[in-house]
Amino acid sequence: MDVQLKKSSSKEVLLDIRKSDISTLYIVQHELLKDPTVEFAGVVLKHPLTKEYAMRVNTSKGNPMKEIEKATKSSLGIFS
Identify the CA nearest to 57 among candidates 34, 80, 23, 24: 34
Fold entry, domain 2-68: Gyrase A; domain 2 (3.30.1360)
Identify the CA nearest to 52 among candidates 12, 19, 80: 19
Residue 5 to residue 34: CA distance in whole angstroms: 23
| Spans of all domains in the chain | 2-68
For residue range 55-65, list pLDDT tens digits in order: 999 999 999 99
| Statement: residue 1 has pLDDT above 80 | yes
User: Do 73 and 35 touch, CB atoms closer than 8 A?
Assistant: no
| Residues pairing with 8 in the sheet | 13
**pTM of the predicted structure, to 2 decimals:** 0.91
For residue range 16-47, list pLDDT tens digits in order: 999 999 999 999 999 999 999 999 999 999 98
